Amino acid sequence: MPSLANHKGSTLVKLLAMGDSKSGKTGSLVSLIRAGYKLRILDLDNLLDPLKAFVERECPAMLSNVEYRTLRDYRSATPAGPVIRGQPKAYLDAIKMLDKWKYTDDDGKEVDLGSPADWGPDCVLVIDSLSRLCDAAYDFRFPLAVKGKGGEIDTRSVYGDAQDAIENNIANLTSDEFRTNVIVIAHIVYQTTTEGIKAYPQGVGQKLSPKIPQYFPSVMWYTNKGGKRTIKTNSTPLIDLANPKPFDVSPEYEIGTGLAQIFEILRGKPTVVPIPAKQQARRI
């Protein structure tokens, strides 16, 4: 029978980074880059400009340590309102990337970084953001919905299928079989519960949001009060947070250095390994 004395915690970080819009979530990644981690960003927000500015100012030699892929469904104006141009494919392309990080860039160059699940402890997969990934999942599922006799669509099935798909993806990313550090960036939504107003990561509809944090051993809250941006790690009546080393991780961190400090506590310092030239494409 296993004894708790023999239990070994994970050497990987699986972190949910929650915060209101413009609270500094993406920009805070610079401390991990400066620490020597290789970041691979699944970019669904198309808002990497601040991160690039921080890296160029603080550690320009590390620009080649950041690989990204931007995926969005674009819309066109019509008399009936904005509609997606062509078939929505951002979600499907994102799922393919999470299986095999392989694509052809804008210059026609083939990029193949293998399976994200095998990148190892010195890499960090970043989903930026879960909010837009949820939107993409809904948009992908909506055209597949069965229409009623009058042409109406029961959106409950669309929401349900999109929620299941996102939850399955999160379960995969946070599993022991996914052998890479993971940061999922999420915007916050506020819901009324029996305990009052609670803050949750934005999901697809309301039912998924309270379930998302259950999958993450580390849940952090980005705040911006009076112009001071910080990363909180202790729960409050508004939001439930977590980390695997509650007696070592401080209650609050400065946003410019916090992620690297948290990673060092949870798993130590990374081993800096040069990136092969064939993998150096689409850097920020």
> Would you say residue 1 lies in a domain?
no
Distance of CA 180 to the CA centre of its chain: 13
Q: Is 4 inside any structural domain?
A: no
Residue numbers of the domain that contains 205? 13-279
- Tell me what pLDDT residue 276 has: 46
Q: How far apart are CA 258 and CA 252, in angstroms?
A: 8
Residue 97 in any domain: the answer is: yes
Two structure tokens written together for 228: 């001071």
Could you state, in chain order, the average pLDDT of each consecutive group of 10 residues for the chain (284 residues)?
Answer: 70 96 96 97 96 96 96 86 86 97 92 97 97 95 77 83 97 97 97 94 93 98 93 97 96 97 92 49 46
User: What integer pLDDT is reported at residue 274 of this predicted model?
Assistant: 47
Confirm whether 284 is domain-assigned: no
CA distances from 276 to 33, 82, 99, 125, 173 (A): 17, 42, 21, 18, 25
* Beta strands per DSSP E along 115-274: 120-128, 180-193, 196-201, 218-225, 228-232, 252-254
pTM value is 0.91
For residue 184, being part of any structural domain is answered with: yes
- The answer to whether residue 235 is domain-embedded is yes
Domain-located, residue 167: yes
Counted domains in the chain: 1
CATH number at residue 98: 3.40.50
